[in-house]
Amino acid sequence: MNNEDRYERPEGDPQEAGEYVPPAFRHRHQPAHGSAPPGEPLFDMSRFQFEKLLGGRVFAWIGGFAVLLGVIFFMRSAVDSSWFTEEIRTVMAALGSFLLLLVGVWLHERRGHIEFGRIATATAIAGLYATAVVSTQTYELFSPVFGLEAAALIGVIGVLIAVRWSSMLVAGMGVLGALAAPLLVGAGTDGGSIAFVAVALAASVGVLLWQRWGWLALGAFAVSAPQLLAWVFQSEGSESTLLILAVLAGFWVLYVAAAFGYELRSRSKGALAAASWFLLLSSSALIVGAGYWVLDQTGDQIGLHAWIFGFAGAHLLLGGIAVRFGVHREIGSLLIGGGIGLASFGAANALDGPTLVAAWSAAAAALAYLATRADATPSPALSNAERLLFTAGAFLGLAILHVLAVEAPPTSIANGVEDLGSSLVAIASCAVAALAFHRFGRQVEPYAATVAGFISAAAFVYLGSVLIIDVIGADDSGDAREIGQAWLSAFWAATGLGAVVWGMVRRSVNVRLGGLALLLVVIGKVWTYDLAELEELARALSFVALGLLLLAGAFAYQRFMPGEGEEEEAEEVEAGEPQASL
């Protein structure tokens, strides 16, 4: 028998009533009177941990940065006051940085002061780079070639130490400093410098893949890309076009290897790392854009098309490999989406007319499908699925604008078109692409998919309208015939009525609303344009056709309109379809 069986609490528990109860008599599962319920701590860190962080790491960082600035200020004062000769200043800076490097290694390896040792080593590497820059750029004691070699040696030392210690800080100083060496020592952007950058970039990619440091890829891209562009602009006209394109392709291979290899090594099941997708997109835009500019300067259109479509094929191939071998489904979708985007850009550059519209429409449909295969985790910056769907919408918008501007402008429903076959192919391509967007987009963004559904329906109606006007509503000389407008009004009214009836049968509110909207449009057309512009016979046909169809629609509403309860149930089923398809 326990204490609770022997001593029953009175019905009026003072602790539950909010009265003061001595700590010894309080229930253990309840907090003290007046205290807040336990919750998540604002900082999941004890006082001891905070003190250790502030005193052991933050102070070490500030101290290392202060030492580096102090050395720079000392060298500046020495220069201004002419205390020592340039050679002595260089030797002092080099020896001081090297001694600090030895101290950092000794503290890390022998004394166990890991954080201070790493910061001291990183500060020393930065000091050595600064010494190389001053000795070659300011004092001109050595040639830029010698400064480049010294920077390469410093970078190798930094990489070796960083790999041994698995230190991102030391790696950042060593690798990124080596990549920036041609700029730091004033070696320019000639062929030797860009070759040095390529070797340093390959080394940084190797370190990235070995240690799985995703951030290093972004740093390497940020440092190497401007130097590559400077070399391309400087070499255009003086170097072989084939050589420039080969260098660009080589750098793209290194960038893609960094992103693709990182995902292959990490095998993450979560969302695609920001460093990976940013590197893939940025490097592709940079390399393809630079190659486009070079080939455009030479006027080689065949080579220009081959360059764009070649990169599109490379993206599609890599994306297929990523999906096939399970590297990461998002990187596969991203590469395939990039390939489709490049192919569409190439089509815009090489094609024209309905072929271009068909290519853009196919890209929109393919991207909408890929959006269903990408990660849809909500994000303030849009999920990967939403980004692909947004890109699909952009291609669909381009296709529609091209149709309305070239193949079938809005005046086509009055005067017809110049080439009926081309116009019908272009409009049908947009309608099918919008329908595919509606079908696949429901799994990602239902509202956008609904809008695409209305666009698809409007495109099909527009297709029929253009066909009627061009065949019936215009003569051989291209002049408008009034009978065509009467047939057009009847077609719109019949289509609107059909949509209303179909929406009733399928319990679809959106289809019925679309039909009603089209009926309102045709009512406005008949009572304004047809009444004022058409002759007696055509006007009579328009009104009779509209009246009969509206009567049929009213009868359908009274006879087949679903009840309110059935309507709500159908809406719930329709809203649940995208989730079920997942």
Q: Give tens-digit pLDDT for 509-543.
A: 888 888 888 888 888 888 888 777 777 777 788 78
Question: CB-based burial of residue 58 (10 Å sphere; 0-12 exposed, 13-18 middle, 19+ buried)?
Answer: exposed
CA 448, 453, 454, 460: dihedral to nearest 10 degrees? 140
Sole residue written with tokens 């854009």: 289
Say which residues have a Cβ less than 8 Å from residue 48's Cβ, sequence separation at least 6.
none
Using alpha carbons only, what angle is made at residue 279 by residues 294 and 339, rounded to the nearest 5 degrees?
65
Q: How far apart are CA 151 and CA 201, in angstroms?
A: 14
Give the CA angle between residues 92, 98, 103 to the nearest 5°.
125
Q: Which two tokens stand for residue 300?
A: 């080689």
3-state SS class at 106? helix
What pLDDT is stored for residue 247 in this prediction?
Answer: 92
Residue given tokens 């990183």 in the structure block? 122
Q: What are 480's strand-pairing partners?
A: 474
Q: Which DSSP state fits 407? A: I
- Cβ burial 200-220 (10 Å sphere, 16+ → b, else e): bbbbbbbbbbebebbebbbbb
Model confidence pLDDT, tens digit, residues 357-407: 998 898 899 889 988 887 777 766 677 788 888 888 988 998 999 999 988
DSSP 35: P
pLDDT score, position 459: 93
Q: Which residues pair with 236 in a beta bridge?
A: 239
- Which pair of tokens denotes residue 157? 């030392």
Residue 328's Cβ-side half-sphere holds a number of Cα atoms within 13 Å equal to: 23
First to last CA, the chain: 56
Rounded-to-integer distance, Cα 311 and Cα 256, Å = 12
pLDDT attached to residue 51: 58
User: With a cut of 70, which residues of the chain have pLDDT below it?
Assistant: 1-84, 111-115, 138, 184-188, 267-271, 328-329, 379-381, 473-481, 560-582
Does the CA dihedral 247-249-252-254 come out positive or negative?
negative
From the number of C-beta atoms within 10 Å of its C-beta (0-12, 13-18, 19+), residue 336 rates as buried
